[in-house]
Amino acid sequence: MMEYTDRHFRHMCRLISPRMELWSEMVTANAIVNTKEDEEYQRRFLQQSPLENPTILQLGGSDPSSLAEAVKIACDSQSWSGSWNGINLNCGCPSDKVSLKGCFGARLMESPTLVSECVSSMSNAVSSLPPATPKPEISVKCRIGVDSNDSYSDLTNFIESVTANSPVKTFQIHARKAVLDGTFSPVDNRTIPPLKYEYVYGLCRDYPDLEFHLNGGVMSLTQVREVYEGSEEKLKGVMIGRSIVSQPWYWSNLDYVLYGEVPSNGVESRRDLVLKYAEHAEEEEKIEGVKARRRLIRPLVNLFNGEEGGKKWRQKCDEIMQSAGSKRKGYADRDGDHGSLTELLTEALKVMPEEAVERSRFDTFELMLLKEKIIKEQGVEGGGGGIDKVARQAKAVWEAERKERERIMKEEDYGHEDEALQKNG
Whether 170 has a pLDDT exceeding 80, the answer reads yes
200-256: pLDDT as tens digits = 999 999 999 999 999 999 999 999 999 999 999 999 999 999 899 999 999 999 999
Average pLDDT over residues 244-273: 92
Residue 329 binned pLDDT confidence (cut-offs 50, 70, 90): low
Residue 67 binned pLDDT confidence (cut-offs 50, 70, 90): very high
Q: What is the pLDDT of residue 42?
A: 84
Which entry of 13, 91, 93, 142 is annotated as an active-site residue?
A: 93
Among 274-283, 321-330, 347-356, 405-414, the minimum mean pLDDT is found in 405-414
Cα–Cα–Cα angle for 84, 74, 140, rounded to 5 degrees: 65
What does each C-alpha distance from 255 to 218, 232, 258 come to in angstroms?
17, 21, 6
Q: What is the pLDDT of residue 8?
A: 93
Q: What is the pLDDT of residue 112?
A: 97
Average pLDDT over residues 318-330: 80
14-31: pLDDT as tens digits = 999 999 999 999 999 999
Whether 299 has a pLDDT exceeding 90, the answer reads yes
84-130: pLDDT as tens digits = 899 999 999 988 777 665 678 999 999 999 999 999 999 999 999 98
Query: Which has more pLDDT, 406 or 137?
Result: 137
Q: What is the pLDDT of residue 102?
A: 60
Which range has highest mean pLDDT (66-75, 282-291, 334-343, 381-390)?
Answer: 66-75
Percent of the chain with pLDDT over 70: 89
Longest dimension (CA), the chain: 88
Residue 326 binned pLDDT confidence (cut-offs 50, 70, 90): confident
Q: What is the pLDDT of residue 158?
A: 98
Print burial letters for 362-383: b (CB count within 10 Å at least 16), e (below 16): eebbbbbbbbbebbeeeeeeee
Q: What is the pLDDT of residue 92?
A: 94
Average pLDDT over residues 278-291: 91
Q: Computed from CA positions of residues 102, 105, 111, 116, in that sequence, does the dihedral angle turn out positive or negative?
A: positive
Q: What is the pLDDT of residue 318?
A: 95
Average pLDDT over residues 259-285: 93
Q: What is the pLDDT of residue 173?
A: 98
How many C-beta atoms surround the C-beta of residue 416 within 10 A?
10
Q: What is the pLDDT of residue 403?
A: 79
Percent of the chain with pLDDT over 90: 60
Helix axes 270-288, 341-348, angle to 10 degrees: 150
Average pLDDT over residues 275-290: 93
User: Residue 27: what are its φ and ψ, rounded to 5°?
Assistant: -120, 130
Q: Are 52 and 14 contacting, i.e. CB atoms less than 8 angstroms apart?
A: yes
Residue 383 binned pLDDT confidence (cut-offs 50, 70, 90): very low
Query: Which has more pLDDT, 342 or 42?
Result: 342
Where does residue 211 fall: left (phi above 0), alpha (psi -120 to 50 degrees), or beta otherwise?
Answer: beta
Mark whether 317 is an active-site residue: no
What does each C-alpha distance from 253 to 167, 218, 221, 259 come to in angstroms?
35, 16, 9, 10
Q: How high does pLDDT run on average in the chain?
A: 88
The alpha carbon torsion through 127, 130, 133, 135 (nearest 10 deg) reads 0
Rounded CA-CA distance 95/98 in Å is: 5
Q: What is the pLDDT of residue 76?
A: 83
Among 59-73, 75-89, 402-416, the minimum mean pLDDT is found in 402-416
Residue 425 binned pLDDT confidence (cut-offs 50, 70, 90): low
Rounded CA-CA distance 285/224 in Å is: 36
Residue 325 carries which side chain, given as an amino acid letter?
G
Whether 33 has a pLDDT exceeding 50, the answer reads yes
Whether 178 has a pLDDT exceeding 80, the answer reads yes
Whether 181 has a pLDDT exceeding 90, the answer reads no
